Structure 1
Amino acid sequence: MFQASLLDLDSPTAPGPLGSAVRRTVLDHGAWIDLCPGWMSGADALFDRLVTAVPWKAERRRMYDKVVDVPRLLKFYDEHETLPHPALEEARARLTRHYLPELGEPFATAGLCFYRDGRDSVAWHGDTIGRGGTEDTMVAIVSVGTPRTLALRPRGGGASLRYDLGHGDLIVMGGSCQRTWEHAVPKAGGTVGPRISVQFRPRGVR
């Protein structure tokens, strides 16, 4: 069951400033992450809207010798599609303005994942389909709903980092992060509420 944040009551749904609000952590191998807790105000109202407005899809994928259900619901918005809430359009525009000097191009697409409860998850991976497998890039993730753990670890093994993200938190993975690190949303035990993540990416990165 989703439990709204008391800090989010009656807040307008809009992204906040970046600039000095962003905290960067430099990782190994040319990777880095930026964090901006509570960046999206009115995030709980946005969560409620996305649950009903997004045409969520349940997918099945081949894993080794069988086809299995993907343990989350998905929706991908290509660069020419209208996003399901004006706050997401503004978020993408603000992220582009802030990161353009480093990224060199705009954020173009938005991939949404709906983690319905603690059984939904995503395994360790990097966004290496397309240019992300060979070039430095950025993936900006806005999380709304109940906080869930986003874990990161060096590709090939090593100690992991863990961030509990929800209620409008922003994390940006940049530099070589998609090639030299992996990230995951592990399954969670007990009663865990739902969460939606919105991943903004440049053209040709998945």
Structure 2
Amino acid sequence: MGGMRVAFQASLLGLDEELGLGPLGGSVRRTHLAHGAWIDLRPGWLSGADTLFERLAAVVPWQAERRRMYDRFVDVPRLLRFYGEDEPLPDPILDDARRALDAHYGAELGEPFRTVGLCFYRDGRDSVAWHGDTIGRGGAEDTMVAIVSVGDPRPLLLRPRGGGPSIRHELGHGDLIVMGGSCQRTWEHAIPKTARPAGPRISVQFRPRGVR
């Protein structure tokens, strides 16, 4: 499946801003959660985010997938594209973002971010259910997953694994969230469906080797 054409309402400044990355450092706000988990937030880290949204929507070879659920196959309610360690990324700013994340988190993480996954939420009907990135090492080890969101904001919910009150963050237009510590195995996150008008959003996930 090739690039997508979608009805996207750019923000007033998003297409006029030059595409680039702001500083991390002291601009990142960390929240410690239960069970050794934490999240970092850096709103608006990527300037010109609407330009990047339009580029990615057009050039990424988006894939629609079907997965087995009980006794039948169902459509995955979002489009996907995964870039392995040796694959060139679809836009140079993603290489810049990965280098900046490595510079900021490398000492704490102890390794670089290696892979990049992209999810395209076309409208409010697209979603991802409660889950942690526990395929591979994330199910047994502390790790980090960094997500940059472009396009219209959608709520990312987090809750303790096994249930409990959820935490909500509206992410879009270049916002960065990093889930670290034990977050992938002791907490879950989701992008819920919504009946309210919701424009398209692309999330870009940076992960270390062996974490999915």
TM-score > 0.5, shorter chain as reference: yes
Q: How does 1:114-125 map to 2 (within 5 A)?
A: 114-125=120-131
The DSSP-based 3-state class of the residue aligned with 1:58 is coil
> Aligned equivalents of 2:168 and 2:46: distance in 1?
21
Q: Does 1:142 align with 2:118?
A: no
Q: How does 1:17-96 map to 2 (within 5 A)?
A: 17-96=23-102
Task: Pick the aligned partner of 1:190 from 196, 208, 212.
Answer: 196
Letter in structure 2 aligned against 1:169? D
Report the CA distance between 1:119 and its aligned residue. Answer: 0.2
> Aligned equivalents of 2:33 and 2:12: distance in 1?
33
> Aligned equivalents of 1:104 and 1:43: distance in 2?
29
Letter in structure 2 aligned against 1:102? E
Q: Deviations over 1:147-196 (max 9, x none)?
A: 00100000011100001100000000000000000000000112210000
Task: Pick the aligned partner of 2:169 from 152, 159, 163.
Answer: 163
Q: Does 1:205 align with 2:211?
A: yes
Report the CA distance between 1:7 and its aligned residue. Answer: 3.1
Structure 2 unaligned residues grouped into runs of 5+? 1-6
| 2:181 counterpart residue number | 175
> Aligned equivalents of 2:166 and 2:210: distance in 1?
28
> Aligned equivalents of 1:26 and 1:141: distance in 2?
18
TM-score relative to the length of structure 2: 0.96
Deviates more, 1:196-205 or 1:9-18: 9-18
| 1:131 counterpart residue number | 137
Aligned length: 206
The DSSP-based 3-state class of the residue aligned with 2:56 is helix
The DSSP-based 3-state class of the residue aligned with 2:111 is coil
> Aligned equivalents of 1:71 and 1:153: distance in 2?
21
Q: Deviations over 1:94-117 (max 9, x none)?
A: 001100111000000000000000
Letter in structure 1 aligned against 2:13? L
Instruction: Give runs of ≥4 in structure 1 deviating > 3 Å.
Output: none
Letter in structure 1 aligned against 2:74? V
Letter in structure 1 aligned against 2:131? H
Report the CA distance between 1:10 and its aligned residue. Answer: 1.9
> Aligned equivalents of 2:153 and 2:13: distance in 1?
14
TM-score relative to the length of structure 1: 0.98
Letter in structure 2 aligned against 1:74? L
Report the CA distance between 1:13 and its aligned residue. Answer: 1.1
> Aligned equivalents of 2:196 and 2:185: distance in 1?
33
The DSSP-based 3-state class of the residue aligned with 1:8 is coil
